[in-house]
Every structure is written in C-alpha cells, then in structure tokens.
C-alpha cells in the first residue's frame, strides 16, 4: 500500500486537505446538492461545511482518519453524545446553509428517527477526491474503521443518499436496513447495517 493510501489519524492541521477532498468527493451527492443547490458556489460551500464539522465537531470526539486525498469520520458508541454539534456550531452551519437551513434540520431529524438503538460504530462520513477514486484510498479507510469496530465487537451503521454507492458498501458487508425519503422533497436516504465480525475478518 502506498503512503498516500495509508490511513492515519486526522488532526486539526489537516482541515484544509480534508475539507477540500470531501468537497470534491460530495459534489455529485444528491443530499449535498439538495442542501447546496448553487453550482457556482457548491465546492466552496461544501469545503466550508466539511471544515466546520471537522474542526468544531468530529476531530474532538470521533475517530477521524485520512489518506492522501480521502477522509472518514467514525463515531464509536461511547462518543455518540460528544459528537453532536454544539449551539455555536449549529449557528455556523445555519449561516452556511442560508435558506436551506430548515431543510437541513428536518433532514437530520428524519434520519435520526431511524438511527439504530443498538450500540454501534457510526460511519458519519467517508469520501475520496474523484481524482484518486479507484486507487484504494476510500477502501483503505473503510477497512481501517471496520477493523476497529470489529476489534471492539461492534456492528457498524452508515447512511447514504447516493444509490450508486450501495454496492460499494455491500462489498464491505453492509446491507440496506431501511429507506427514508427526506422531508421537503429531499432525496432518499438508505440506512445500512453491518454485523460485527471476528477481528481480522473484515
């Protein structure tokens, strides 16, 4: 595995690299296009969005890893309460979202109603810059996170609004658990679950 494909812990100094990679990764994501519908400003808006949730939220409590041009944020069950945005972060996100802030709030609420109650590792976000897709960086991050979940004896859960990604997640052992049509005319969100496996069996 090349150095660029080797997962490493993400730190605050990685914010620019991570936010840029994720902004490009999610440019064609149906949910992100719904929240940020302006083509001309989407990359900048997404970069600000991912930078905000990384620096203010996930880096402090979640398991955040990156490769050369990809990143993943995992929330173990013991970090679930700490990984939610505080009031100041919510305010920053509302400013970024503008008139889409209410749709965002309702979408988050709708998804939360279907969050599994069993303790699990939650894959909050994973993405690779399209320039390196197919080179294994996203897969390396997925395997790293699943290995840690398996070592803890925990199942894993994720949500995807991009139907084309479902077979990718199925390859890693996830199965669709439910479909949610987001309110306000939003896209479909697929919740996917993976049972814990013996450590080393991912």
- Digit-by-digit pLDDT tens for the chain (202 residues) are 567 789 999 999 999 999 999 999 999 999 999 999 999 999 999 999 999 999 999 999 999 999 999 999 999 999 988 888 888 999 999 999 999 999 999 999 999 899 999 999 999 999 999 999 889 999 999 999 999 999 999 999 999 999 999 999 999 999 999 999 999 889 999 999 999 998 755 4
- Total residue length of the chain: 202
pLDDT in the model for residue 47: 98
Tokens of 103: 């749709």
Q: Are 85 and 106 in contact (CB under 8 A)?
A: no
Distance CA 96, CA 98 (A): 6
The confidence score (pLDDT) of residue 202 equals 47
Q: What are phi and psi of 41, to 5 degrees?
A: -110, 0
The owner of tokens 């808006």 is 45
Q: From CA 198, how far away is CA 202, in angstroms rounded?
A: 8
Rounded Cα distance, 176 and 159, in Å: 9
Comparing C-alpha atoms, which of 49, 51, 65, 112 is closest to residue 84? 112
- Write down the domain spans for the chain: 3-194
Q: Which CATH class is domain 3-194?
A: alpha beta
pLDDT digits (tens, 9 = 90+) for 82-101: 888 888 999 999 999 999 99
pTM equals 0.93
The pLDDT of residue 128 = 96
Q: What is the pLDDT of residues 149-162, one digit of tens each?
A: 999 999 999 999 99
DSSP string, the chain: --GGGS-EE--GGGHHHHHHHHHHHTTT-HHHHHHS--TTTHHHHHHHHHHHHIIIIIHHHSEEEE-SSEEEEEE-GGGTTTTS--HHHHHHHHHHHGGGHHHHHHHHHHHHTTS-SS--EEEEEEEE-GGGTTSSHHHHHHHHHHHHHHHTT--EEEEES-GGGHHHHHHTT-EEEEEEE-TTT--EEEEEEE----TT--
Give me the pLDDT at residue 96, please: 94
Q: Cα–Cα distances in Å, from 13 out to 17, 48, 66, 93, 155?
A: 9, 15, 12, 21, 30
CA distance 184 to 31: 12
pLDDT value, residue 201: 53
């Amino acid at each position: 595995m090349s150095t660029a494909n080797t997962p490493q812990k993400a730190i605050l100094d990685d914010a620019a690299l991570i936010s840029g990679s994720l902004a490009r990764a999610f440019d064609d994501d149906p949910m992100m296009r719904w929240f940020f519908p302006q083509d001309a400003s989407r990359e900048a808006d997404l970069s600000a969005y991912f930078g905000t949730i990384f620096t203010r939220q996930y880096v402090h409590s979640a398991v955040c890893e990156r490769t050369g041009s990809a990143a993943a944020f995992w929330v173990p069950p013991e970090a679930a309460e700490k990984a939610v945005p505080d009031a100041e972060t919510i305010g920053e996100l509302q400013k970024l979202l503008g008139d889409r802030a209410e749709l965002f709030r309702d979408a988050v609420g709708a998804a939360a109603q279907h969050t599994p109650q069993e303790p699990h590792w939650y894959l909050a976000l994973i993405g690779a810059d399209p320039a390196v897709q197919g080179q294994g960086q996203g897969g390396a991050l997925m395997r790293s996170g699943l290995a840690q979940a398996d070592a803890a004896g925990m199942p894993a859960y994720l949500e995807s609004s991009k139907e084309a990604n479902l077979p990718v997640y199925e390859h890693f052992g996830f199965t669709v658990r439910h479909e949610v049509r987001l309110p306000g005319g939003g896209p479909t969100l697929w919740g996917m679950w993976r049972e814990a496996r013996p450590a080393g069996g991912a």
